[in-house]
Structures are given as C-alpha cells and as structure tokens.
Amino acid sequence: MDHSQFKANQTAAVYVADGLDAPTQEAFEMHMMDCPECIEDVETWRAIKVNIPSRVRLANAGVHGSRSARRSDRATLSLPRCACP
Ligand SMILES: [Zn+2]
C-alpha cells in the first residue's frame, strides 16, 4: 500500500485502535518512517483516542437508563393518534 491507500483506509485510526493485521501494521510502520504526514495522523488519532472513554461512558449511561428507548416508544405510539383524529 502507498500513502493514498493508507489515507483512504484510515489506517492511522485503525493503527491507533490496534485493529490492523500484522502485515498491514508492519507496512504502515515502515511507511511512517518516511512519511511525517502519517505520523501526524497517528498522533491526532492518539489524541482523539484519549477522549474516547468519556464518550463510551456517556453511551453506556444511555443504555443503562434506557430512557431514550422508552421515549421513542411513546413517540411512535402517539403518532397514530395524531394522524387519526
Ligand atoms: Zn503517509
């Protein structure tokens, strides 16, 4: 793979998430030695990854509360009543 393919596949993001298979990771690490832009991408994604846990906690809180699901049920139930007066 070359730089444009790494970019197109968001390889830097997957690399930071430890989601690359071994050959791709090796190729990407080799490529980064000559590509400051991809190193910058990895650093950017690392910075984003640091912020991920708080977002996950928010998502889990929504699942545990399941209030949003109940609200959407009420919304769908109330729609027919409004459509057929
Ligand atoms: Zn690159």
**Domain count of the chain?**
1
Gap from CA of 7 to ligand 1 centroid (Å):
7
Gap from CA of 47 to ligand 1 centroid (Å):
18
Gap from CA of 83 to ligand 1 centroid (Å):
55
What local confidence, expressed as pLDDT, does residue 43 receive? 95
Gap from CA of 55 to ligand 1 centroid (Å):
29
Q: What is the SS3 assignment for 18?
A: coil
Domain that holds residue 9: 3-83
Alpha helices for 1-85 (secondary structure H): 3-8, 11-16, 22-32, 36-65, 67-83
34-85 residue pLDDT tens = 999 999 999 999 998 877 665 556 566 655 555 555 555 555 555 556 656 6
Gap from CA of 51 to ligand 1 centroid (Å):
24
Entry pTM:
0.58
